[in-house]
Amino acid sequence: MIDETSAVRVRVEALTPALAGDAAHWAQRLGLAQEGAADFALQLAESGLQLAELGPQAPGPVRVDFVEGAVAHRRLFGGGSGQMIAKAVGVQPGVRPRVLDATAGLGRDAFVLACLGCETTLIERQPLIAALLEDGLVRAAWDVEVGPIVARMRLLQGDAIELMRRWQGEPPQVIYLDPMFPHRDKSALVKKEMRLFRPLVGDDMDAPALLEAALVLASHRVVVKRPRKAPIIDGPKPGYSLDGKSSRYDIYALKALKA
């Protein structure tokens, strides 16, 4: 069941009759209805799974696409290892750290790191968003160029704090956090996604506990992405920060990353 969506109504619907079986599967898996009044719809389309707000003034649906669109453009022209996120997690010649993205969202940052050669584990606690992400990874795995990239991405659905506290096996070298925050990004894409997801997700009021768990688990560093002028997360102060135009990365260095 989807506890986080108790305040909003969500239904599952197939946009073509041929996808009715898949819609029924998702509805059963997520504990959602397929009929009745709803604020949002998890829709099965030929292009993949998508989430849409319902109503006359609603923006268009959101889905995860690692093959085409903005993510593909960034993969091809985003600047490679010169990107700020690459510097923040410690990508350097001979070093491609194992990264845990504990607040995966739609997986864009994790995909960038996977493009650079990092083995990346993603955690998403909101089941609807995790479903979009799972669907996007499955579709991307069939693409000749993108398939080898998403093969470096492993998705876990659940509460990141609990999963980090109960982590089994080798710990990630770097943990990457991007807690939900009142983003000030003016792009139409981000505004649409924030409008869609905020009723389902809210702000991450447990960000200090998220940081605490990450600092215990990570072997080399924790990186927190924040709006550029936002305060640091309550807790230990970062060792240093990298500032961009709209965002910054607070780096909590624990051990040097070496080739």
- Residue 34: phi and psi, rounded to 5, are -110, -5
Distance spanning both ends of the chain, measured CA to CA = 44
The answer to whether the annotation marks 108 as part of a ligand binding site is: yes
The answer to whether the annotation marks 204 as part of a ligand binding site is: no
Would you say how long the chain is, in residues?
A: 259
- Residue 80: phi and psi, rounded to 5, are 55, -140
Which residue is it, tokens 């599967």?
A: 25
The answer to whether the annotation marks 11 as part of a ligand binding site is: no
What token pair was written down for 65? 């696409």
Buried b (16+ CB within 10 A) or exposed e, 98-115: bbbbbbbbbbbbbbbbbb
What's the number of CA atoms in the CB half-sphere (13 Å) around residue 56? 0
Strand ranges (E), the chain: 10-14, 40-45, 48-53, 99-101, 120-124, 153-157, 174-177, 221-227, 240-243, 247-253
User: Which residues participate in the annotated binding site?
Assistant: 108-109, 124-125, 178
User: Which residues participate in the annotated binding site for S-adenosyl-L-methionine?
Assistant: 108-109, 124-125, 178
